[in-house]
Amino acid sequence: MKTIKDIAALAKVSIGTVDRVIHNRSGVSKKTKERIEKIIQEHGFQINKTARILALNKKYNIAVLMPTVESSSDFWYLPKKGIEKASEEFEMHRISVNYFHFDPLNLNSFKDVFDKLLENSFNAVLLAPIFLNEAKERLIYLDQRKIPYVFINAELEGANNISYIGQHSFDSGALAAKLMSLLINTEDDILIVKVRRDNVHHSTIEDRISGFKSYFNTRKTPIQIHEVILPKIKDQETINTLLHKKLTNHQIKGLFIPSSKVSVVANYVEEHKLKHLKLIGYDLNEENVHLIKNETIDFLIDQDAFFQGYEGTKTLFNFIINNVVPPKNRYLPIKLLTKENVKYL
Amino acid sequence: MKTIKDIAALAKVSIGTVDRVIHNRSGVSKKTKERIEKIIQEHGFQINKTARILALNKKYNIAVLMPTVESSSDFWYLPKKGIEKASEEFEMHRISVNYFHFDPLNLNSFKDVFDKLLENSFNAVLLAPIFLNEAKERLIYLDQRKIPYVFINAELEGANNISYIGQHSFDSGALAAKLMSLLINTEDDILIVKVRRDNVHHSTIEDRISGFKSYFNTRKTPIQIHEVILPKIKDQETINTLLHKKLTNHQIKGLFIPSSKVSVVANYVEEHKLKHLKLIGYDLNEENVHLIKNETIDFLIDQDAFFQGYEGTKTLFNFIINNVVPPKNRYLPIKLLTKENVKYL
């Protein structure tokens, strides 16, 4: 473990420059910043004990911007549990966590809640920037106020987040495609089912779809890929009508649902006894686990939801309290589950 | 957290009976033992502080019976790392770990090394009972001397081990079979390749094979399953001859290698450009990772090797020092890897 002086000497820069990098302040070239960060990561960084004790006596406010959690079967239930666990562990540092919840299927809700967050003052922000453009416009205000932020679940290229913690969505889509190519024949078609309210770019979902399509494109298979958008997940009748219409195409054998909403489709498939259809989806909520156990869903991809919240929160705490600079990308395992291994999590 | 008195009251037995169960001594009926263990697991157990301090001043010797580790690409490299990490964490308790290494392909080596272990005195034993019958014969002596032992990697039904930590081998074989059924057609044949020196029952391997065969049996597919034993993994010429002979059967399209030695077969497949063959094997040593990245191996199943050693050792320490009774079976995740997700571990 090195002091700030040692790091400055190793990087051949002034102590002020190292300090600027550690506190994520501007005025350091990208190249120098990267060199200093590399040294810190390699040698570790022993912070000044007195400064640390002062820091421990301060109070910190963290804002969390994430979708609403209504029940334990919601995807965001586990990340929230992770945030709570991390907060408890750091309680002695007097940290308070303030949640700003939005409807993940509703763009306006995301904008409104983010704007509300910006009206307040925080030491750090943990967020899922699932609507890319709208997030980008608002992150500028965090940058201006030098408030550090960490992304979980959804990635946003080129942003000044100190870290991203989540799955590599593109590669996880590619994996889904590989499995789909094993489940169906080359003369079959595939249907991608998106569940959402707004017709906007939802980053995680779109990245998964890009990865999925890219797998088939590079292999030049004759497989046709269709898409359908299910607009309101609570209106099962509309869902049934839309799915029924799409599935009159009897070439369709594989269904890829790039979200935890795979159960919406799986319930339709189960009800209509469409056993010849192969389903791949995401996440291990109770309903999905039931549907993979009875083999209505063939493969589920899990993304360590609890860990995203837990590690995201710890990363922010360690940055603002202990000056620990995290890796920019923290890609989590892409876990593959079937009926056979779902009981051993 | 309850005291021994509370547990006795809850279980409606004497304090002496609870004490006997905690220290794994005989004289308690199986039913009572299970009832007491259940109460301990549900309520936790607050041990006597004075007794604990005395215990902390004692010295403990742990014996580890496991295969030889020659290089970092050996499967047993990671479990050994895990044992070392757990030992370091518990060093203040003055624990010494003594290794007894055997050749995992050689039955006599297992017997000799186990016999040597039994000549010494230990407080607890961590072992991989990969040769079932030979292990059974020798575990009696540990039982007689009331020495607690934990199994890692290989399971042995009906033994008095305090815990097993490892994969459910049968189910992991069934998962391999499901994937194989997706990789090949119903008119194809499968070859199971075993690598070993002795013609004995090697429990983990055989359990994986049982699970694999069972998957196809219950589905009554017309797929034929062949087997071959590769006797000496260092003699590539014999391997090549045996594989070549087997692969003149042009029906064979899928190869299942139920061990980390999948690289031996994959290297042959790569060298002879047999790209039409599908390979499924186990474990993430360097060579296997290379072979899955270039898609010579289609699927690898990983079994949390580091965790087996780490958790196995911690379980024994906590049992002998803190009286913590572990769950009898601690089944680890069956992790599925392909070229697409192998980089996100």
Predicted confidence (pLDDT) at residue A56 exceeds the cutoff of 70: no
Predicted confidence (pLDDT) at residue A8 exceeds the cutoff of 60: yes
Least Cα separation, residue A339 to chain B (angstroms): 8
HEC secondary structure over B294-320: CCCCCEEEECCHHHHHHHHHHHHHHHH
Q: How many Cα atoms are found within 13 Å in the side-chain-facing hemisphere of A12?
A: 3
Task: Tell me if A34 is assigned to some domain.
Answer: yes
Verify whether the Cβ–Cβ distance B172 to A334 is below 8 Å.
no
Least Cα separation, residue B10 to chain A (angstroms): 31
User: Of A336, A338, A342, A345, which to mutate for an interface test with B (greatest number of B Cβ within 10 Å)?
Assistant: A336
Task: Tell me if B50 is assigned to some domain.
Answer: no
Instruction: Determine how β-strand B60-67 pairs with β-strand B124-127.
Output: parallel
The answer on B175 and B276 residing in a single domain is yes
Query: How confident is the model at residue B46, as a pLDDT?
Result: 58
Predicted confidence (pLDDT) at residue A83 exceeds the cutoff of 70: yes
Tens digit of pLDDT at every position of chain B (345 positions)? 567 778 888 888 888 888 788 777 778 888 888 888 888 777 766 555 445 555 556 788 999 999 999 888 788 999 999 999 998 887 767 788 999 999 988 899 999 999 999 999 999 999 999 999 999 999 999 999 999 999 999 999 899 999 999 999 999 999 999 999 999 999 999 999 998 776 677 889 999 999 999 999 999 888 999 999 988 677 788 888 999 999 998 899 999 999 999 999 999 999 999 999 999 999 998 899 999 999 999 999 999 999 999 999 999 999 998 888 999 999 999 999 999 999 998
Query: How confident is the model at residue B127, as a pLDDT?
Result: 97
Please name the amino acid found at residue A100: F
The answer on B293 and B187 residing in a single domain is yes
Q: B277-301 as b/e, with b when 16 or more CB fall inside 10 Å?
A: bbbbbbbbbebbbebbeeebbbbbb
* A88 Cβ contact partners less than 8 Å away, ≥ 6 residues apart: none
Instruction: Determine how β-strand A252-256 pairs with β-strand A224-230.
Output: unpaired
Across the range A269-297, mean pLDDT stands at: 95
Handedness of CA A10, A12, A14, A18 (dihedral sign): negative
The answer on A130 and A222 residing in a single domain is no
- Which residues of chain B are within 8 Å of residue A332 when distances are taken between CB atoms? 344
Give pLDDT tens digits for B106-115: 899 999 999 9
Tell me A93's DSSP state.
Answer: G
Across the range A162-167, mean pLDDT stands at: 96
CA pair distance A250, B313, nearest whole angstrom: 56
- Which residues of chain A are within 8 Å of residue B168 when distances are taken between CB atoms? 344
Task: Report how many Cβ contacts below 8 Å link chain A to chain B.
Answer: 63
Give pLDDT tens digits for B288-301: 999 999 999 999 99
The answer on A160 and A179 residing in a single domain is no
The answer on A317 and A295 residing in a single domain is no
The answer on B311 and B243 residing in a single domain is no
Q: What percent of chain A has pLDDT over 70?
A: 94
Indicate if ipTM > 0.85: no
Do B282 and B313 form a contact (C-beta atoms < 8 A)?
A: no
Query: Token digits for A195?
Result: 């569940």
Across the range A128-152, mean pLDDT stands at: 95
Least Cα separation, residue A128 to chain B (angstroms): 20
Verify whether the Cβ–Cβ distance A171 to B340 is below 8 Å.
yes
Query: Which range in A76-85, A195-204, B23-32, B93-102 is most confidently predicted, on average pLDDT?
Result: A76-85
Task: Tell me if B294 is assigned to some domain.
Answer: yes
Query: How confident is the model at residue B51, as a pLDDT?
Result: 54
Task: Tell me if B84 is assigned to some domain.
Answer: yes
User: Of B184, B336, B337, B338, which to mutate for an interface test with A (greatest number of A Cβ within 10 Å)?
Assistant: B336
Which stretches of chain A are DSSP H helices? 4-11, 15-22, 30-43, 49-57, 77-89, 107-118, 132-144, 169-183, 203-219, 236-246, 262-271, 286-293, 305-322
Higher pLDDT, A335 or B89: A335
Dihedral Cα A236, A239, A245, A248, nearest 10 deg: -80
- Which residues of chain B are within 8 Å of residue A338 when distances are taken between CB atoms? 175, 178, 336
Predicted confidence (pLDDT) at residue A47 exceeds the cutoff of 70: no
Residue B100: which H helix or E strand, with range? strand B95-102
Task: Tell me if A69 is assigned to some domain.
Answer: yes
| CATH code of the domain containing B186 | 3.40.50.2300
Across the range A39-46, mean pLDDT stands at: 72
Cβ count near A252 (within 10 Å): 20
Predicted confidence (pLDDT) at residue A51 exceeds the cutoff of 60: no
Q: Least CB-CB distance to B331: which of A183, A334, A344?
A: A344
Least Cα separation, residue B248 to chain A (angstroms): 26
Q: A211-242 as b/e, with b when 16 or more CB fall inside 10 Å?
A: bbbebbeeeebebebeebebeebeeeeebeeb
Verify whether the Cβ–Cβ distance B172 to A331 is below 8 Å.
no
Least Cα separation, residue B34 to chain A (angstroms): 23
User: Of A172, A253, A340, which to mutate for an interface test with B (greatest number of B Cβ within 10 Å)?
Assistant: A340
* Residue A276 belongs to domain spanning: 169-302
Task: Tell me if A66 is assigned to some domain.
Answer: yes
The answer on B237 and B196 residing in a single domain is yes
Confidence of residue A90 (pLDDT cuts 50, 70, 90): confident
* B290 Cβ contact partners less than 8 Å away, ≥ 6 residues apart: none
The answer on A247 and A190 residing in a single domain is yes
The answer on A263 and A184 residing in a single domain is yes
Residue of A nearest to B171 (CA): A340
The answer on B258 and B209 residing in a single domain is yes
Least Cα separation, residue A303 to chain B (angstroms): 11
- Give the count of domains, chain B: 3
Verify whether the Cβ–Cβ distance B338 to A167 is below 8 Å.
no
By a Cβ cutoff of 8 Å, what residues of chain B touch chain A?
167-168, 171-172, 174-175, 178-179, 182-183, 331-341, 343-345
Query: How confident is the model at residue B1, as a pLDDT?
Result: 58
Q: Least CB-CB distance to A344: which of B168, B178, B182?
A: B168
The answer on A96 and A10 residing in a single domain is no
Across the range A202-223, mean pLDDT stands at: 93
Verify whether the Cβ–Cβ distance A341 to B345 is below 8 Å.
no
Verify whether the Cβ–Cβ distance A178 to B345 is below 8 Å.
no
Q: What is the DSSP string of A135-199?
A: HHHHHHHHHHTT--EEEESS--TT---SEEEE--HHHHHHHHHHHHHHHS-TT-EEEEEEE-SS-
Task: Tell me if A50 is assigned to some domain.
Answer: no
Rg, C-alpha atoms of chain A: 22
Task: Tell me if B139 is assigned to some domain.
Answer: yes
Confidence of residue A235 (pLDDT cuts 50, 70, 90): confident
The answer on B176 and B132 residing in a single domain is no
